[in-house]
Amino acid sequence: MKRKIGKAFIYLFAIFWTVMTIFPLFITFFNSVKDNKGITLGMFTWPEEFMWSNYTQAFEAAHILQAVGNSMFFAITSTLLTIVIGMLAAYILSRKVFKGRGIVYTMFLIGVMVPIHCTIIPISSMATQVHGKNQSWFLILVYTAFALSQAIFLFTGYLNGVSRELDEAAVIDGCRDRQILFRVLMPVCMPIISTEAILAFIAGYGELIFGMILMSDQNKYTVARAMLTFTGGYKVSLGPIFACIIVAVVPMIIIYILFHEKVQEGMLTGAIKG
């Protein structure tokens, strides 16, 4: 009887959690087919008339599909760079002994505590000096730089908990540092790599401030920047903004459906090997 009650409680909690997760998506979709009046007077009500023209405006005025492609490119590229550079730095900080190692690690920890918005002016000036305005590579480097401190902090802490016997066994087999890192340690570190990849990707995909400051060419707008198309000095078109949100969320859902098993598999593999 206790076991049945426990299973029933778990099922009820799972159903409740599913409803709470999907409910905001449905509300966003309903608001994406309403006008401003329908949204302000009844955000949680069924639309009286489905205004599919909001999606037309999102595609034609905001070029939301192109913006989604830009954000995906920026987020994926910066995430890959963050993982590779972060693991290289973490391997040195965790496995090598050299003078000033503690100072270097402390500098990265300080980077975690630096507010991003405090760097807007210097980064904008730097972009002007190196001709980085409207350049994809500069925005990718900015995203990577802000994600690296956290990545190195997480990767170093995780590597410190991995037995050095793996390194010694790899050295006996003739592996060098590059092979030890990419063939031996990275598979073990898949749980923390997966965590950091998710954090870095979400941060890059939804970032607004630097995308707005560094990109003035509409062909290179990010998703968040494209949504500002419907925000003016005296009027805000809420329906098209919600339509943009729906279009922007779809790729995230598809990516989760396609890769959630790989992430879970990597986490389990890393846990077993660790």
Domain ranges across the chain = 63-273
C-beta of residue 224 within 8 angstroms of C-beta of residue 62 = no
**Residues of the chain scoring pLDDT < 70:** 1, 233, 259-274
Global pTM value: 0.84
Residue 104 and residue 107: Cα distance in Å, rounded?
Answer: 5
Quote the pLDDT of residue 271.
43
Read off the pLDDT of residues 167-204 as tens digits, 9 standing for 90 and up: 888 888 888 888 888 888 888 888 888 888 888 998 99
Superfamily of chain region 63-273 = MetI-like (1.10.3720.10)
Quote the pLDDT of residue 97.
84
Query: 236 pairs with which residues across the strands?
Result: 231
Quote the pLDDT of residue 264.
59
Residue 191 and residue 157: Cα distance in Å, rounded?
Answer: 13
